Amino acid sequence: MNTYLLPVFAIVIGVVIAFVTKKQKSIGTKLLLSFSGAFLLALTLFDLLPEVYHHLSAKQTGLFIMCGVLLQIILEFLSKGVEHGHVQTHKKDKEFPWVLFISLCIHSFLEGFPIHQHNDMVYGILIHKIPIAALITTFLLQSSYSKVQIISFLIVFMAMTPLGTYISNNMILATEYIDFINAIVIGIFLHIATTILFETGEGHSFNLSKLAMICFGVFVANLI
- CA–CA gap between residue 102 and residue 38 (Å, rounded): 26
| Per-residue pLDDT at 90 | 53
Domain that holds residue 179: 2-223
| Per-residue pLDDT at 189 | 92
Render 110-135 in DSSP notation, one character per residue: HHTTT--TTSSHHHHHHHHHHHHHHH
| Per-residue pLDDT at 82 | 65
Q: What angle do CA 36, 41, 47 make, to 5 degrees?
A: 120
- pTM as predicted: 0.84
Confidence band of 201 (pLDDT split at 50, 70, 90): low
Kindly tell me if the per-residue pLDDT of 139 is higher than 60. yes
- CA–CA gap between residue 107 and residue 112 (Å, rounded): 9
Kindly tell me if the per-residue pLDDT of 168 is higher than 90. no
Confidence band of 61 (pLDDT split at 50, 70, 90): very high
| Per-residue pLDDT at 123 | 86
Total domains in the fold of the chain: 1
Q: What value does the mean pLDDT of the chain take?
A: 82
- CA–CA gap between residue 64 and residue 7 (Å, rounded): 25
Confidence band of 12 (pLDDT split at 50, 70, 90): very high
107-126: pLDDT as tens digits: 899 988 888 755 688 888 88
Q: Which residues contact 97 (CB under 8 A, 6 or more apart)?
A: none
